[in-house]
Structure formats: C-alpha cells, structure tokens
Amino acid sequence: MAFALTQEREQQVQEILTRYPDSRAALLPVLWLCQKQHGWISPEVITFVAERLNLSTATIKGVVTFYTMFFEEPVAPNVVWVCRTLSCDLRGAKCIQEHLERRFRCRPGETSEDGKFTLLKAECLAACGQAPMVQINERYFENLDTATLDKIIDEHANNTPRSAHEG
Ligand code: FES
C-alpha cells in the first residue's frame, strides 16, 4: 500500500523545506518524520520520499543504509541499543547485553518473544563517562546495573509504537 504522511507531518515537511537550500539537504529530517509515523523505512516510504523530494530511490536507500538511526526492517515499539564500545565494555556492557538477551529471549538484531522490544548493539553513544549505558528509543539510560535496567524495561513494556516514538 502506498505511504503518505499525515496532514500535520506534511506541513512539517513544508516547513523543513524552507530551512534548507535544496530538497536533498532536507532528506534526513524528512526520513526521520516518515520513520516516526511508520516505524521503519519501508520500500513504500522510500518511494514516497523519492517522489516528494524529487530524488532517486537509490539516493534514499544509500542514506538509509548509512545511518543506523533508520530501520530497514520493522521494529518493536521499543528499540534498545546496548553500547558495546570500550568504556561500556569495561564497565559491564556484556553483562547488560546477556541479561537483556535472557529477558527478551532473543539475540541482538531480533525482537523479544512478546514483540515489545527490539535488541540492538551500538557503537559508542557518546556517554562514556556514565558507562554502562543503553539507549531506548530516543532516551539514554546511564550508570546501569541489571536491577535498574529491569525497572526501566518494565516502565517501557506498555509503550505502543506511537507513544514510544512521539516523545
Ligand atoms: S563507550 Fe559506551 S557511550 Fe562511549
């Protein structure tokens, strides 16, 4: 089915386009808006953005595959990124990762059995001084231990796709 933005988001696109010298420069924020609405960048979203910004689908795909913030597959309402780079690794990221794998019963790159969480690994998320940390949707949670993380996960369990990504 063809993708289209809501009227409100279409107005946001028009406002975005006034801030950039050309439509190509507006590609990242427009893709971000589309992902907020749709949850991921589907082939239909790529076709929509290509037509809306008068760019090739190859250009859109190149950007989507380059930036990890864009999802090329459907994801759960909550996307949990576990930082695995040095500072977090030294401060227990592996323990955090394994704890989440057990809790979600899934491996990195997969979605939990209940469909509520997608688990991903991340390279340094620039919060090294507060390691170990995870990013859930658009928020950082730092200085974690497994008990604190469990509470945070519990608080996210009832998120819907809309409530998780509208913040
Ligand atoms: S190493 Fe984890 S935030 Fe930098």
Domains of the chain, each with CATH number or no CATH: 7-66 (1.10.10), 78-165 (3.40.30.10)
Residue among 128, 134, 139 whose CB has most ligand 1 atoms within 8 A, to mutate = 128
Is residue 166 over pLDDT 90?
no
CA of 136 to the centre of ligand 1 (A): 15
Paired residues of 120 in beta bridges: 81
pLDDT given for residue 161 in this prediction = 63
Distant-in-sequence, close-in-space partners of 165: CB < 8 Å, separation ≥ 6: 35, 36, 39, 77, 137, 138
CA of 128 to the centre of ligand 1 (A): 4
Q: Is 130 exposed, middle or buried (0-12, 13-18, 19+ CB in 10 A)?
A: middle
**Angle of helix 7-19 relative to helix 27-38, nearest 10 degrees?**
160
Under the banding of pLDDT at 50, 70 and 90, the label for residue 24 is: very high
Which pLDDT tens digit goes with each residue over 43-90?
999 999 999 999 999 999 999 999 999 999 999 999 999 999 999 999
Under the banding of pLDDT at 50, 70 and 90, the label for residue 160 is: confident
CA of 124 to the centre of ligand 1 (A): 4
Query: Which atom of ligand 1 has the smallest separation from the CA of 87?
Result: 1
Report the C-alpha gap between 135 and 29 in whole angstroms. Answer: 20
Q: Ligand 1 pocket by C-beta < 6 Å: which residues? A: 83, 85-88, 124-128, 131, 133
**Owner of token pair 């996307």:** 79
Q: Are 3 and 38 in contact (CB under 8 A)?
A: yes
